Structure 1
């Protein structure tokens, strides 16, 4: 089968391209720019485009499928040529569904925790030697490709709510039709895609509409917004709830209380405890019992950039996290403070996404960093301008966070120098961003400070 990727360099797209190449497909692709690590991985598989740019001459009737990435525009010349020839054009999630339609599908949905829950499920399945395919949105330790498509009878899919393609405006997770699916929580922070909360909430209702007959919906019972859609869920769908389990923290280790005793964990924070319960409940539905699950989850060390430990000594530890939305930010700060209650916490956050830099959205950050001893917030006015947003000021950002521990910076060198001047004895560092604080290598910087 001959498949061509339009915008092959995307984080999800290049992984799917690699998976199909390994499956024996003839894979080609184009993109106007490709960065690492996508570039190196495509080189290794022999499918990096010979030159950057769009090449309509690559689009011929010999192609069995075109896979269209979100990075491409509606007027992309390769897309226009494919439409002119009447070729089969798929979005990424549509093609994934076609590849997995004969498998039992576990789909992880929700505004937060998706990557971690997916990683936990894959970790347990690996420990139990259960063969499964997968699709994950972030790079995980021990995996050289985050999409696997084989003849396995089971597939685990991270189902995000971003749009499928430039010509398919449905959220990706509407395509996957779970046998067992979850909603980990609902927190509106994608205002560039879903302009109102009601519109965003509706996407999760539509997600449940796509469940297979007699499917299972696993959900966090304390989320008031999930509760709003439950009465509308189809009657044939079985509802399974989970909540935060009992736990205790001692000497920097979190212990999960269970019927088989205290389970020492390698991760911490209430969100991770909730993620564990979600993963357990979903795996129960495919025959994994609690004893098997709890024994395997002990060794789960977390997903990359999700409370990832990057430096440590006897008196300090540094973490980095992908947190950028208000709910994730608050939960991450709280988790580190609770895990080390006797240490000072300096939390640094970069406003980097479209939503986080939008003036109308800033008030959602109220009190999000209140538990940090010092909270440093950085944003780049150049990024605001690049995203064509209305300018914001440091004073507006500080007022939005609304706690006296917050200081706002618009120069990354100022914030990094301030951190270099700090004493780190009995003090922890938390770096949170979907970016990199204007070119800072967060791992190396944290090691410089802590070590």
Structure 2
């Protein structure tokens, strides 16, 4: 721990600046005008995030920990993963440096700006990105972690991002699915407002059930019950977590739908939902849980046109957006509520910002048109997200071809659930990932009918990483096969589709 000696502008020595945490810690300290030195054993070519430090002028030592690093540093901040029995800790001890942990940093350097966290199974990236866009249009600079192709919603990234330079912090916050994850996250981020988009089954294996997963999300709710909490009250799982209904701001959507879905209720019964999107809509359980009247209600929705009316506690507004689909009506409404209720931004300017928002890369992203077939990419990788995306696209396009690159984190039963969702909405299905190919081969009737179109590359075994279920060759083979199908639109689904987007664009 840091001794009580009062130092004037101490020099902080940050170990591991090529890693995410060390990188953010050094930038945070520089933003706060402290003196910093950084070191890492990685060479420059292996320092993945070195580009984020280009505008930060401090000594950076790569490939070694020089003697001067220890002699010139007053306080050394090691990475959280470094054990106290390591050689580096021995060197720190020999040089008599004070040691500050990353958690010590978070406790000593508090956020100096409004902090809002967005969580939920689906929609949090779009909600977060739109809210930051709204802030930027009003000259409020959101903090950014700056890591290209890194979502950054777990571990130490959100809390350190909250302490970077900026006027506001809008943080996407996720979970590894372990009890205590979100509780710790909130304590580290120290936000005053939270937005919860929904809670649907995601990343669940045989050792986890949905209610336990929902309880983990409930840690987010518990933290904000005495602060400001904005929720999608059309989701019965979310609404069932609320202990004090008067303490939350509710948003929802009013639309006619014939879709019926089911979810496990908190009472243990299965609750029927007249679904607007997967897992949300109109519901009433025999235990008494029922959909409340939202404080902010989207109605008269024209999905394919990106228009709806929004009833607020004091007025009704016309909302125009460049996005399509009911799921984006929810995302946009949640962002509008947060911008108005927490950041106190004027409604007319919020609506103008919404109208200029282009969406998030990889979220129903239009890539090109191929012989009158619209080619679309979506990062969707869990059953609820995939079902929502396909359901919305089916409202816009008469026929759709689905190229599936996903491998579920839930294992084989997750792969089956995802494939069944795709079968429900897709007119042609091309299993591009090995995992989806394994499931496809059990669907003999659909193969014989031509609904499932097999490729050659998806036969090849692929060692997945998380939800990255296909190689570049498998994705391209799937796309080439899908482009031969006669449909109004082709959508390539999954993390691999997003990763190899550049290669896909070369097919146009």
Whole-angstrom distance in 2 between the partners of 1:100 and 1:193: 39
1:443 aligns with 2:502: yes
1:33-112 pair list within 5 angstroms: 38-42=49-53, 45=56, 51=62, 62=73, 64=75, 66=77, 68=79, 72=81, 77=86, 87-90=99-102, 95=105, 99-112=109-122
Which residue matches 2:203?
Answer: 190
Q: 8 Å contact 1:108–1:182 — kept in the other structure?
A: yes
Which residue matches 2:306?
Answer: 254
Which residue matches 1:230?
Answer: 242
Q: 8 Å contact 1:174–1:207 — kept in the other structure?
A: no
Instruction: Give the TM-score, by structure 1 length.
Output: 0.74
SS of the aligned residue for 2:240 comes to: helix
Q: 8 Å contact 1:55–1:77 — kept in the other structure?
A: no
Q: Deviations over 1:217-270 (max 9, x none)?
A: 111112222133213x6x8x82111113335558x5422234666533212222
Whole-angstrom distance in 2 between the partners of 1:83 and 1:368: 55
Q: Give the gaps of 5 or more residues in structure 2.
A: 1-10, 151-156, 254-297, 461-470
Larger mean Cα displacement after TM superposition, 424-433 or 222-231: 424-433
Whole-angstrom distance in 2 between the partners of 1:397 and 1:56: 59
SS of the aligned residue for 1:368 comes to: helix
Which residue matches 2:438?
Answer: 395
Q: Kindly tell me: are residues 436 and 419 of structure 1, through their superposed partners in 2, closer, same or farther at Cα, counting changes over 3 Å?
A: closer
1:170-181 pair list within 5 angstroms: 172-181=185-194
Whole-angstrom distance in 2 between the partners of 1:294 and 1:55: 54
SS of the aligned residue for 1:243 comes to: strand
SS of the aligned residue for 1:296 comes to: helix
Q: 8 Å contact 1:32–1:54 — kept in the other structure?
A: no
Say which structure, 1 or 2, has more relative contact order (CA 8 Å, 6+ apart). Answer: 1
Q: CA deviation at 1:359?
A: 2.7
Which residue matches 1:207?
Answer: 220
Instruction: Give the TM-score, by structure 2 length.
Output: 0.66
Q: 8 Å contact 1:256–1:263 — kept in the other structure?
A: yes
- Flag the structure with larger Rg: 2
Whole-angstrom distance in 1 between the partners of 2:121 and 2:99: 34
Q: 8 Å contact 2:378–2:492 — kept in the other structure?
A: yes
Q: 8 Å contact 1:109–1:183 — kept in the other structure?
A: yes
SS of the aligned residue for 1:278 comes to: helix
Q: 8 Å contact 1:267–1:301 — kept in the other structure?
A: yes
Instruction: Output the aligned Cα RMSD.
Output: 4.5
1:348 aligns with 2:362: no
- Which among 31, 38, 48 is matched to residue 28 of structure 1? 38
- Which among 480, 493, 497 is matched to residue 420 of structure 1? 480
Q: CA deviation at 1:127?
A: 1.1
Whole-angstrom distance in 1 between the partners of 2:442 and 2:66: 49
Larger mean Cα displacement after TM superposition, 277-286 or 189-198: 189-198
Which residue matches 1:334?
Answer: 391
Whole-angstrom distance in 2 between the partners of 1:193 and 1:78: 40
Which residue matches 1:387?
Answer: none
Q: CA deviation at 1:215?
A: 0.9
1:359 aligns with 2:372: no
Which residue matches 1:121?
Answer: 131
Q: CA deviation at 1:419?
A: 3.1
Whole-angstrom distance in 1 between the partners of 2:337 and 2:177: 28
- Which among 333, 336, 351 is matched to residue 280 of structure 1? 336
